[in-house]
Structure 1
Amino acid sequence: MRTLLCLFLTFIISKTQSERVGNLVLLKDAVKDGAVCLDGSAAGYFIDRTPSKRWIIHLEGGGWCYSEGDCYNRSFIDLGSSKNWQTKFELAGFLNNDPDVNPNFANYTVVFVPYCDGASFSGNRDEPVVVNGRKIYFRGHRILTALVDALIENEGLKEAEAIILTGCSAGGLATFLHLDYVRSRFPYSDVHGLADAGYFVDAPNVNRDMHARRQFQYIFHMQNCSEGVNRDCFESNEIDGWQCFMAQYTYPYIQTPIFVLNSLYDTWQLGNILQLGCNPPDCNNTRMLEFFAWRTTFLNALKPVIQWGQNGVFADACLQHCQSVNDIPWSRIKVWGQNAHDMFSDWYINKRGTRTGIDGVYPNNPTCGDND
């Protein structure tokens, strides 16, 4: 069974409403090429083999490991090792095959990619680091490459007419980072991205300390992510390499159409970037002012998305993190009368061009409901 920590960090896929089940395939043949989890075990994927030429590839989230010691600890759980992965995994929200929940995407073939590298499928360090006598491998980009190779060779992905790369949290960030790479592997397929809760912003905490920036910088260099981020971003003379590991800086370089799904009051960012230290509305007046100011901070960082060409954005004012992998927020939360499923469908299927749904202020959205 995937651990409780893993389920928490991926923000709990709703099993009570989910019907689709993916079966585990381990990438055993890729171990010799170094495409392994933190502990050296084989990476893999869950697949629901629907007879369709339209595919969804979902990259799992679950935070990052911020130091060698942190990665060592992570190598003992499902977010760093495949040794205890279950053989089946239930899928919900955007991955659900229930047409009542997911009417426009229920018949897509779905691949769910477990997360076990600690750096959003971006690291590529040749030699392992040794912590407490244990080898730790930073090979996320090799996992992604091996995944694509296996899906082409063994699952029929080379025949895909359409591919949607998606993910939530650290997997949402991975969608920003790797979307152009996936498109480069499938030049004759219609490739799009749906990045859920992956727009982590470079902002200070309540004490005006840029601690999150230092964390992203360290991960980038520790895992040697230079080969695992957007190439146009990394090769630009206008940006530092580590910034390509953050969505707001890499976004302007993405050439593939992408839709951004993110709460304006993302609970992970409130707790870990802003470090609010309380749960709104149960905060003192000073912290509530910081909370309300976060919306402006986030919107300023989101400007490239709001102003950018033919892409889309659904930014609600609910206290949420990861909405596409849960049946309820995917179909219930609305911005200007449309839920995330409908607005994404309008952008993706109906080709309506730019779709911008920017919500008002907390707590004025009645569709947030009990998930708020």
Structure 2
Amino acid sequence: MVTEMKTTMTKSVNAVVAVTLALLTCAPWCIYSQQPHQLMVNMTTVRNAPALGAFCLDGSLPAYHIHRGFGAGARNWLLQFEGGGWCNDIDSCLERAKTRRGSTHLMSKWEVFSGILSNNASLNPDFYNWNRVKIRYCDGASFAGDAVYKNGTTLLYFRGQKIWEAIILDLLPKGLGKARKALLSGCSAGGLAAFLHCDDFTKYVPSNASVKCLSDAGFFLDERDIGLNHTMRSFYKDLVSLQGVEKNLDKNCTGSLPFPELCIFPQYALRFITPPFFILNSAYDVYQFHHGLVPSSADPRGHWNRCKLDPAACNPAQLDVLQGFRRDMLVALALFYKYSARGGMYINSCFAHCQSESQDTWFGVDSPRIHNKTIAEAVGDWYFSRRITNKEVDCAYPCDTTCHNLIPANTSSGLVEDLN
């Protein structure tokens, strides 16, 4: 019995030693991969929004979530536009108004802050102690519309521009008006909003503040689909017309093109943006792949369905089309890549859409990498000017083994649907 007890105790001690050594060996990576709790942040409603005419589609009040900065980051601000598609006709906007994408009444009142919004230094080393704000999306036009639709029985507010202004004005007395550093960012439709509002943002913060902008999965291309139709261009044209967006597009851009509505595309507006800009995008962005390049209207028999669900299932002809899309994206970014001294880029080859708000893709032990650099490291190096060059472009699919290919399960939803 004594011998058995000694053996058991020896095994227990060895087990403790083994676990201790493992923890010591894997730190700091263990910190990245283990999240003891999620940071939940409550919603703040903008009570004075009606004075500005700022309403969500259904007439509800706009809102945001704020988590206060601390220490050295107490006077730095990160604003993140929420994404979630668009609506470009009355029917789709009416439907949207009955969902969380068109009404703050139907939104979750608490939001998880992760990735670039995290308050954990080991999960978000450069922005964890900043004031971090998530701006809720409820207008359906990337915070850029300014119109109202009334027909006697139906009332829809297309007030994205006013929502943006109301939220900024609500934040100014809370410290944004005295910001030292500021980063305006966003994902998907929110990433497009970052392009549309980057210059405007500088008007609200002190002139000596360091102001920069980041778009995550917001570089939507003016690209023909596989049927050679301008699906995205047509969609955005209707969106701009319905929601009164044109007057809020960059005036230098609209004056330079025969079709002013094209300035909603970042590839045409980018050269007119003054603050330093960082473009984070997949060269095979799944939203654009599924809804711009291969919309259901261009593939009625579903020949692309397997390829949409799994890139490994794409046949050689389909891969050629995808490689062509990547080439077109890089061509559209060529001047920015070559001549923007203050700009940054991270164009990876992952089949994904939005990579800054997810901890797994932002900064973790198995996060995507280009030249062994995570997205968080690339964005931080660019913002704080830690490197001379801040433009990373991945090799073509399927060379990158670090990718998280985040393919949505439903490939049949239309362009106005949310893929998140």
- TM-score higher than 0.5 here? yes
Amino acid at match of 1:115: Y
5+ residue gaps, structure 1, are: 1-13
Q: 1:362 to 1:88 in 2, by over 3 A?
A: same
Equivalent residues of 1:15, 1:91 under 8 A apart: no
2:290 aligns with 271
What amino acid is the match of 2:102? G
Alignment match, 1:260? 279
Contact 1:57–1:166 (CA<8 Å) still a contact in 2? yes
Alignment gaps of 5+ in structure 2 = 1-32, 296-303, 408-420
Match of 1:176 in 2: 195
1:97 aligns with 2:119: yes
- Maintained 8 Å contact 2:54/2:62: yes
SS at the partner of 1:89? strand
Q: 1:15 to 1:321 in 2, by over 3 A?
A: farther
* More displaced 10-residue stretch of structure 1: 280-289 or 318-327: 280-289
Q: Considering only CA atoms, is the larger Rg found in Structure 1 or Structure 2? A: 2
Q: Are residues 130 and 339 of structure 1, via their aligned partners in 2, closer, same or farther at CA, if it must alter by over 3 Å?
A: farther
Q: Equivalent of 1:360, from 391, 395, 402?
A: 395
Q: CA deviation at 1:348?
A: 1.0
Distance 1:340 1:121 in 2: 26
Structure 2 equivalent of residue 291 of structure 1? 322
- Structure 1 residues 150 and 214 mapped into 2: Cα distance closer, same or farther (>3 Å)? same
Shift of 1:100: 1.5
Q: 1:370 to 1:265 in 2, by over 3 A?
A: closer
Instruction: Give TM-score scaled by structure 1 length.
Output: 0.90
Q: Distance in 2 between matches of 1:46 and 1:231?
A: 31
> Corresponding residue for 1:151?
171
Q: For residues 103 and 391 of structure 2, what CA distance do their matches in structure 1 show?
A: 39
- Give, in whole Å, the separation in 2 of the partners of 1:285 and 1:370: 19
- What is the Cα deviation at residue 227 of structure 1? 3.1
1:141 alignment counterpart: 161
Which amino acid counterpart does residue 124 of structure 2 have in structure 1? N
Q: Hey, what's the Cα distance between the residues in 2 that align with 1:148 and 1:367?
A: 38
- Asked if the contact 2:351/2:405 (under 8 Å) is kept, the reply is no
**2:27 maps to which residue?**
none
Q: Are the counterparts in 2 of residues 67 and 219 from structure 1 also a CA contact under 8 Å?
A: yes
Query: Are the equivalent residues in 2 in contact too, given 1:17–1:327 (CA < 8 A)?
Result: no
CA positional deviation for 1:370: 6.0
Q: Using the alignment, how far apart are the partners of 1:281 and 1:84 within structure 2?
A: 38
Q: Give 1:34 deviation, angstroms.
A: 1.3
Distance 1:35 1:53 in 2: 27
For residues 79 and 59 of structure 1, what CA distance do their matches in structure 2 show? 13
Q: Partner residue of 2:331?
A: 300
What one-letter code is carried by the residue in structure 2 that aligns with 1:139?
R
User: Aligned-pair RMSD on alpha carbons?
Assistant: 2.0
1:81 pairs with 2:110: no
Distance 1:239 1:121 in 2: 24
Q: Distance in 1 between matches of 2:34 and 2:235?
A: 33
Measure the CA separation in 2 of the matches of 1:219 and 1:108.
34
